[in-house]
Amino acid sequence: MTTLRFGVLGAARIAPAALIKPARAVPDAMVAAVAARDPERARAFAARHSIPRVHPDYDQLLADPELDAVYIPTPNGLHARWTLAALAAGKHVLCEKPLTSNEDQAREVADAADAAGLVVMEAFHYRYHPVMARVRGLIDEGAIGAVRHVRATMCFPLPRFSDIRYRLDLAGGAMMDAGCYAVNALRLIGGEPKVSSARATLRSPGVDRAMTARLDFPDGATGELIASLWSRHLLGLSLRVTGDAGWLRVFNYLMPGMYHRLTWHSGGRTHRERVAGESTYTHQLRAFVSAVREDAPVPTSARDGVANMRVIDDIYRAAGLAPRK
């Protein structure tokens, strides 16, 4: 295999930043085709981004023998369906987060990926920036002592309530769209937690516009999650880790390639760092190519997605809501 050829399922707003632009910086990847529910929109999208082929629908894109992988930026509720279809068609998959609507779907996807011997990566792009390796390294080195508490916030304003991210039938909600990042970050630091409590603020029946949760980690540490699409926490993109010998904080762990600040305090001294790196999406694409070509492990595999969805489902249950379907 020379160049990994991608097809895009849907002319989504996120696709240019998440795949099309990074592919120009990664010689081993290219976007070769697109399909959308509206063929005219797909043609316009292809023309705007110099994509050579347009397929009339998703199924025909998946049947294209010249494609090696697909990128799935569809609404949450369609992720499992089209990831499974892509695997059945022999394609590797880069799927936007959250991987699926619930834990059972995620396990079905992970089992199918294992059976097919294909890569499925959940697009938690922030995990691939070097700042997160630095955070994990500082903790592993004991820079702040044993971890006692982890707090992750992922809040941004989305006041357009007609947005699909508020639709229950498409697996919407703040916990799904924003909170999935916070869960992933909490698990990176603390391991696999149990949910002790959660509270949702609803936009409509069953759909949360904000969520808070408390978690317990296996070693006795605790966790706190704050996620919202519309609440008094208008903007929150921070990760804070408190140890028994210090603390660590990352501002803007979501998009550190644009701007971030890593601050840690230990031994009476405060350290401030910025960790060099490309766009998170470029790092992610490089990791995806390595996983396909070299069987390199990735931290956001389909199997990891099962664990992330388990926590999300448990948070919904603790808040008195049903997991997404």
Residue 87 has, within 13 A of its CA and on its CB side, a CA count of: 23
- Catalytic residue of the set 21, 91, 97, 325: 97
Where are the alpha helices (H) located in the chain, listed in sequence order? 15, 21-25, 39-49, 58-62, 79-88, 103-116, 130-140, 174, 180-190, 280-294, 302-318
What whole-number distance in Å separates Cα of residue 82 and Cα of residue 62?
9
DSSP, residue by residue, 179-248: IHHHHHHHHHHH-S-EEEEEEEEEEETTEEEEEEEEEE-TTS-EEEEEEESSSS---B-EEEEEETTEEE
Per the structure block, which two tokens stand in for 182?
């916070």
CB atoms within 10 A of CB 7: 26
Asked whether 167 and 207 are in contact (CB, 8 A), the reply is yes
Distances, alpha carbon 116 to alpha carbons 112, 226, 295, in Å: 6, 37, 14
What whole-number distance in Å separates Cα of residue 113 and Cα of residue 110?
5
Q: Is 97 a catalytic residue?
A: yes
Per the structure block, which two tokens stand in for 23?
């592919």
Q: Please, what's the b/e burial string for 296-309 (b: 16 or more CB within 10 A of its CB; e: otherwise)?
A: eebbbbbebbbbbb
What whole-number distance in Å separates Cα of residue 310 and Cα of residue 271?
35
What whole-number distance in Å separates Cα of residue 109 and Cα of residue 87?
9
Q: Which residues are catalytic?
A: 97
